[in-house]
A = this chain, B = another copy of it.
């Protein structure tokens, strides 16, 4: 670079825009996310789920082996590190989960109930509900019986949304079984096993395609128009009709009915139903598959997606460990809260603002602040001695209930003045009455 172009560059200000598809969490938004995660954690811990975490970077071969082909070939952020090692930025947590569980498969007490809220990245065109960077809550359980695990995992979805303020009509748990799809593809339609994986991916995105495009894509996968028609029929039918469509091959329907019966005994029946169109894109699902739909007219979309897998850890050379799990992104959850009007107005946690007016009262303000904090009070101390009115204004914006200060008079009398912001009432407390003040703060009379 010539000296002149270097100078031109120096004088051009840096952009305050972040990288495309990422978000800046200024404190107001971060407070909302923290509130959401705290509630999610309370629900999951009430079921005995334990939090885990793993690296944001994994060896490329882990994703190449465990992630979906679409993710690896189109969305993964992969590169070589300075030592020539090929790595990828986490696009989903399941490969790391599988690696971590496989590493300790022998010593982990069953059932294994784990959750995590990792940051993930996928190279995609940013759109509503979908960004390049997102957090994804992952909940998984291994080592129990399928029915018990399936019911519990679906209950946690219901409880998470309920805890965040959702009511029964706000969302719907839609369940299906991969075995049913197998019955149809191989029992009824007599397809070739090699057609399965691409066909499942096509069925998974059916809703996003026009009916013509769907039929064209199906033809490309060697389906006859009649087979395609049967598939379309299948995907729109209620459970009872599926039974007649598939004839005797109904063991998976029994499984679905069992799960529906368990769930509707515990939660509002309008929260859960069978949906033959639920497929999920990942190859590794082998049993129940499900999505939680937002029913709001402005946000009809799948929020959560998950399913049962029989052998997530097999690639690591350990014994199969069946389980079930799901993922939901913070982007989807924040959208859900927004469209349903469930976003709470969250305030800062400041209880008291300690203000001061000169160089002389700094030490007194600092020691009073320290004593209040030691008594469990959240205190913001002023960081410059400006005018009283201006500092009161500032204190009001911190959300504090009381403003406290030690003017000349109070310093002389070993006391402090308190102005209750809700009423404007002013009170004097002796320094030795700190407890009395703290009690008044926690149980305001007015």
- Chain A residues with a Cβ under 8 A of chain B: 13-16, 18-20, 22-27, 30-31, 33-34, 45-48, 50-59, 61-62, 65-66, 77, 79-83, 85, 87, 89, 96, 99-100, 102-104, 109, 111, 113-114, 119, 121, 123, 133, 141, 143-145, 147-149, 151-152, 155, 159, 262, 265-266, 315-317, 348-350, 362-363, 366-367, 370, 373, 377-384, 394, 397-398
Contact of A31 among B51, B77, B100, B370 (CB under 8 A): B51
A221 smallest CB distance to B (angstroms): 23
Nearest residue in B to A394 (C-beta to C-beta)?
Answer: B109
Instruction: Jot down 18 A-B pairs with beta carbons below 8 A, ordered by A.
Output: A14-B65, A16-B102, A18-B96, A19-B87, A20-B85, A22-B54, A25-B52, A26-B52, A31-B50, A46-B379, A48-B378, A48-B398, A50-B348, A55-B133, A57-B77, A57-B89, A145-B383, A266-B370
How many copies the complex holds: the figure is 2
Chain B residue numbers with a CB within 8 Å of A89 are 56-57, 89
Closest Cβ of chain B to A162, distance in Å, is 10
Instruction: Tell me the minimal C-beta distance from A15 to chain B in angstroms.
Output: 7
**Inter-chain contacts of A266 with B (CB < 8 A):** 366-367, 370
Contact of A148 among B22, B82, B113, B362 (CB under 8 A): B362
User: Are A25 and B53 in contact, with the CB atoms below 8 A?
Assistant: yes
CA distance A287 to B57 in the complex (A): 36
Select A47's contact among B85, B99, B119, B373, beta carbons within 8 Å. B373
